[in-house]
Amino acid sequence: QHRKLASIGMRAIVLSGPGSADVLELKDVPKPDVQPHQVLVHVRAAGVNRPDISIRSGKYPGVNTSAGMILGLEIAGDIEVVGDKVKRWKVGDKICALIKEGGYAEYALVDERHCISIPEGWDYVEAASLPETVFTVWHNVFQKARLQKGETFLVHGGSSGIGVTAIQLARAIGAKPYATAGSDDKCRACEKLGAERCINYKTQDFEKELKDEGVDVILDMVGGDYIAKNIRILRPDGRLQFINAMAGSKAEFDVKDVMVRRLTISGSTLRARPDEFKAQLAADVEKHVWPLIGQGLFKPVIFRTLPLEEAAQAHKLMEESSHIGKIMLRL
């Protein structure tokens, strides 16, 4: 009674190879086959994320971008087929999920352990905006960097999907979030979400602005000349966590300074982590973050939603970096 069979084909956005947004093509492709511990989700919405851009461009660490790939790391939709050994879910359940690829399609396969029920009162687009950013922020800021109540936290790219997530979650647990962003409008948006202060990096130097107070935890996706600046403003026992290095991955800093102040410098990528790790992360997110959503302490920030066939336009929009919050695809 837990099975439901469907037609064979589906629409998907497929890469013709690595390159610009123009390599994204709408095609009819076969539906994927469900394995025993997987569910097949009828996708209603999918998120567009910075790693999608990196993978499409052939620049994501450890990924061999090739023709035929279907991008998309996060989805929301309805379960249409369940595998033989699936225990938690049934046909018709509404879920959101983190996936390795395949989100820009009408149907996607998901390990059953990577699914979480859509929060009450949230629509598909809002729910699909959660997994990639929430999983990334929870793992890097709270599990690895161990941000605590009362500590000071800085996120670069505060108006990005990662940024708006990090600000809200840091505020929700009682930390003091700060942010950087590239315009006064973006800064005001960050402050409205809960940032103590957002620094416009085009008119101010975040190091000068924050050096007197200092910061306990920094989440950086910029790299480049931010690396040494980050290290200099960290308080003793401070933690610096990298999730990207869009401005460059190499820097020079004084290791003795790191030793004296007992700093921790780390980083991670999520896509290549084993299924077991993602399953545990999903369980932790459901346990710790979903209650905050239920209390109204975390809200979706959707910049724009486009139809699936306009995925290339969605990528161009992200590359323009004028957005505040998430760019989404609706199916």
Q: What is the pLDDT of residues 128-172, one digit of tens each?
A: 999 999 999 999 999 999 999 999 999 999 999 999 999 999 999
Give the Cα separation of 324 and 190 in Å (integer).
9
What SS3 class is residue 287? helix
Burial tier of 92 (Cβ tally within 10 Å: 0-12, 13-18, 19+): exposed
Token duo for residue 139: 């793992």
Give the Cα separation of 47 and 180 in Å (integer).
23
Say whether pLDDT at 2 is over 90. Answer: no
Rg of the chain over Cα atoms, rounded to whole angstroms, equals 20
For 96, the enclosing helix (H) or strand (E) is strand 94-98
Give the Cα separation of 110 and 124 in Å (integer).
16
| pLDDT confidence bin for 8, thresholds 50/70/90 | confident
Give the Cα separation of 73 and 70 in Å (integer).
10
Token duo for residue 309: 């066939």
pLDDT for the residue 317: 97
Token duo for residue 66: 């090739």
Say whether pLDDT at 6 is over 60. Answer: no
Average pLDDT over all residues of the chain: 95
Neighbours of 228 (CB within 10 A): 14
Q: What pTM does this model have?
A: 0.94
Say whether pLDDT at 1 is over 80. Answer: no
- Distance, C-alpha 237 to centroid of its chain: 26
Say whether pLDDT at 62 is over 90. Answer: no
Give the Cα separation of 278 and 98 in Å (integer).
8
Over range 27-42, report the average pLDDT.
Answer: 97
pLDDT for the residue 7: 54
Say whether pLDDT at 3 is over 60. Answer: no
pLDDT for the residue 327: 98
Q: What is the pLDDT of residues 211-261, one digit of tens each?
A: 999 999 999 999 999 999 999 999 999 999 999 999 999 999 999 999 999
Contact in structure between 73 and 53 (CB atoms under 8 Å): no
**Percent of the chain residues topping a pLDDT of 90:** 95
